[in-house]
A and B are shown apart, each in its own frame.
Chain A
Amino acid sequence: MGNANVDNPSSTGKKQVPIKEDFFATPLSPPDQVRLRGSKCRACGTVILGKSVACQNCGSQDIEKIVLSRRGKIYSYTIIRYPPLPPYAGPEPFQPFAIAWVELPEGVRILSPLVGCKIDESETDLKVDMNVELTVDKVCDDEEGNELMTYKFRIIR
């Protein structure tokens, strides 16, 4: 299986669009300058990824937009070893990939695919508390022929 899950910045000149508009606080390139957008409650300080109508903790609608840190660490991880059911749009043939809850300094944990790790038949080199950094990766082409882009996190060696 090996290290197949490298990110894949577009070299095709196609327009890149985010898989979910409210996840990103910046343009999608260059990848090393992309930042995720968060929402912070002015009443209680709770932070979540993306846009939010109301605070998940206290229900306040006094929410401010914040820009999340690019670096965080792995709170937990697992491997998707069998193909997710449709409409999964990952590479054909299927390649196992790692996912994690990534904890950012703002106090939010984000569920994310990981890149830059080793996945063998029954093992990985992943560990809790590994440092990771934000990147973006193509998921698939959308109906208009644009490249649909998601966030991922890369292991910092």
Chain B
Amino acid sequence: MSKAVIAGLGIHKFGRFGDKPYTDIGLEAVIMALRDAGIEWPEVQAAYCGRMYLPPTTGVRILTQLGRTGIPIVDVEAACAAGGVALKEAQRAISSGEYDIVLALGVEKMPRGFMSPEAIYDHWECLVGLSQNPMYWALEAQRYMHDYGLTIEQLGKVSVKSHKNGALNPYAMHQKPMTLEEIINSRIINDPIRLFMLCSPDEGAAAAVVCSEKVARKLTAKPLTIEACALRTCKYPFAQPPAYTYGTAVMNRFVTALAGAEAYEAAGIGPEDIDVAEVQDGDAFNEIVAYEDLGFCKEGEGGHLIDEGVTEIGGRLPVNTRGGLIACGEPVGASHLGQVFEIGMQLRGEAGPRQVEGAKVGLAHVWGAGGNSAVTILKR
């Protein structure tokens, strides 16, 4: 069984692009990935397209612009983990030996503001107003602050770091540093979460050419092995004590630990082996608890990592070096592959001013609606 290897990566900047159609946004990322791998479109034997808000056959509509080569082109969806599913399918297609070169694509074009509730919540929840995404994060955050004494300043510092890193990333939506005061004094959306602690739904795309080790050796001097790509949904009990009814839409972060454990096991490594990570900071609080759920620190100690600068570029374990979702936004279907692009650049030593020196192993993590999570581990 061959390991699956990433031989090419491409991205379309995340942000808002007016009337630019998603077919152009997706295509740019694909062309960049194909060029990066040094291959032509007709060499691709299958393609998987992660998206959530775009229409059926999005993958076909984007990719057949390059020629109708007759290959299978499949759209996949698992909310915020959609890009993880595309990568997982690509990994499986290669490691099973069925194909030698495939493409994983993630793309999205979403309207401004809160995410459309009817895509995620039951109708009755929408009528009552139990349907605004950040509220789930806010509920978790409020309780966590009560239990562990996490402060609003610590939450603010996460966002300061994201914006600082985003300012170094030409593909980020927000490329301007922000002060702690600006962040803490921005509008409260769902207490305790402030506007500038949140990510925005936006637009963008990212793509990866995935191939066998044998093909990769011919294509690139900098192959990135997919050591793990784990997909999970929430498992009951969702928390301790074991009793949680979250309305009907199960949205909680505890799935991260499940996907993380599976990914570490598949890769045969532990959290101590990770050199650089991208995690799901739908809001600042979720970055803090991702540290804990992914094993970067003990439960309740996430705030210390921010205070001590551990997760800054230059720290012991830099997290969200591209600026995370807070600076890049979350074009849902593209989000995970956008993280994979950043980890890839870091491991190849091509991350420019964001470069983490000597990074060999990187992790990318998403979670979201439906309790879906993906954790990918790459190695150079």
Contact = CB atoms under 8 A, between A and B. Distances in A.
B190 A84 contact: no
A109 B189 CA distance: 23
A29 B17 CA distance: 52
B130 A113 contact: yes
A81 B190 contact: yes
Which bucket holds chain B's interface residue count?
A: 35 or more
A126 B288 CA distance: 24
A33 interface: no
Contact of A78 (B139, B187, B243): B139
Interface in A62-93: 75-82, 84-90
Nearest to A122: B188
A46 B126 contact: no
B375 to A, nearest CB: 23
Given A49-B245, A128-B146, A84 B124 contact: no
A3 B127 CA distance: 21
A132 interface: no
A20 B126 contact: no
Interface string B220-237: 000000000000000011
Q: Main SS of chain A's interface residues?
A: strand
User: Which one of A19, A47, A56, A97 has the highest number of Cβ atoms from chain B below 10 Å of its Cβ?
Assistant: A56
B236 A84 contact: no
A90 B129 contact: yes
A101 interface: yes
Given A107-B243, A111-B247, A84 B129 contact: yes
Interface in B160-210: 187-193
Interface of A: 19-20, 46-49, 56-57, 75-82, 84-90, 97, 99-101, 103, 107-113, 122, 124, 128, 139-140, 148, 150
22 contacts: A46-B237, A49-B245, A56-B236, A57-B236, A57-B242, A76-B139, A76-B143, A77-B139, A77-B191, A78-B142, A80-B135, A84-B114, A85-B126, A87-B127, A88-B126, A88-B127, A101-B139, A108-B244, A110-B245, A111-B246, A111-B247, A113-B129
